[in-house]
Amino acid sequence: MSKPAVYLDRDGSVGTIHLNRPDKRNALSMAMWQALIDSIDQADADPHIKVIVVTGEGQAFAAGADIDEFQQTFTDPKAAEAVADITYRSQKRLHRNAKPTIAKIRGACVGGGCGLALCCDLRFADTTAKLGITPGKLGLIYTLADTKRLVDAVGASKAKDILYTGRILDAEEALKIGLIDRVVSPEALDQMVADYAAEIAAASQFSARGTKQIVQQILDGVDDDTAATRQLFVDAFKGPDFKEGFTAFGEKRKPKFSA
């Protein structure tokens, strides 16, 4: 039985969302954007999943939007609004997800595919990866939310370079400017991502999710502690994870966090 165009599976503490349209290089249709939301909801609801990996099947992460659907926007203004709405909601759902997320990238990661990868906390790629965002070649304007994620990753001037030209970056350049975080050989990518995800899963999820909240608030423009962020810090000392972490440190063993 064939698998759907987007699906979730779990291996231990790691849930992987697969973009599964390899014959189209995982070009993202509106149905796939909606299915992505559904898969994230499933991953959130599964208490066993501590880390979410997003990847593409075949030789690409995602080559961008479904061109066949894009053609409808020429004749139907409502189609453009629908594309903007589902893309925004899906990307925000991934970007603001409480659990740590990793994009595992091989091959084309272009347009909406690169935008999707930027919604993940970390982006790991192999040497075949090609990344780019191409509104400058299509006469389009990237949304503010999409553009901010790119600026947060690479800085304003490099984001302008990418968006003005629409050029495609190889893995080496993408790593150099911070668009991706690690690059390995194609045969090493799966194991590297699995090992790293396992390292996150073994650490305190209370800490990971709290840290993610704090970092996101900084990216959102908060530049000093609020009562809520100060309380996060204080409450941590009362929690079971700190008790276990502190005890394990004293006993010179690895901590065993409960969730």
Does 37 map to a domain?
Answer: yes
Does 257 map to a domain?
Answer: no
| Judgement on whether residues 117 and 135 belong to the same structural domain of the protein | yes
The string of pLDDT tens digits covering residues 34-91 is 999 999 999 999 999 999 999 999 999 999 988 777 776 667 778 888 888 999 999 9
Residue 181 has pLDDT above 70, yes or no: yes
The string of pLDDT tens digits covering residues 111-133 is 999 999 999 999 999 999 999 99
Identify the pLDDT of residue 234. 95
Does 126 map to a domain?
Answer: yes
What domain count does the chain have? 2
Place 2 in a pLDDT band, splitting at 50, 70 and 90.
Answer: confident
Q: Which residues pair with 6 in a beta bridge?
A: 19
Instruction: Tell me the backbone φ, ψ of residue 153, rounded to 5 degrees.
Output: -80, -40
What torsion, rounded to 10 degrees, do the Cα atoms 65, 67, 70, 71 define?
180
Does 256 map to a domain?
Answer: no
| Judgement on whether residues 82 and 177 belong to the same structural domain of the protein | yes
| Judgement on whether residues 136 and 167 belong to the same structural domain of the protein | yes
Question: How far apart (Å, rounded) are the C-alpha atoms in residues 84 and 86?
Answer: 6
| Judgement on whether residues 213 and 190 belong to the same structural domain of the protein | no
Domain that holds residue 183: 6-200
| Judgement on whether residues 62 and 95 belong to the same structural domain of the protein | yes
| Judgement on whether residues 95 and 126 belong to the same structural domain of the protein | yes
Instruction: Tell me the backbone φ, ψ of residue 51, rounded to 5 degrees.
Output: -135, 140
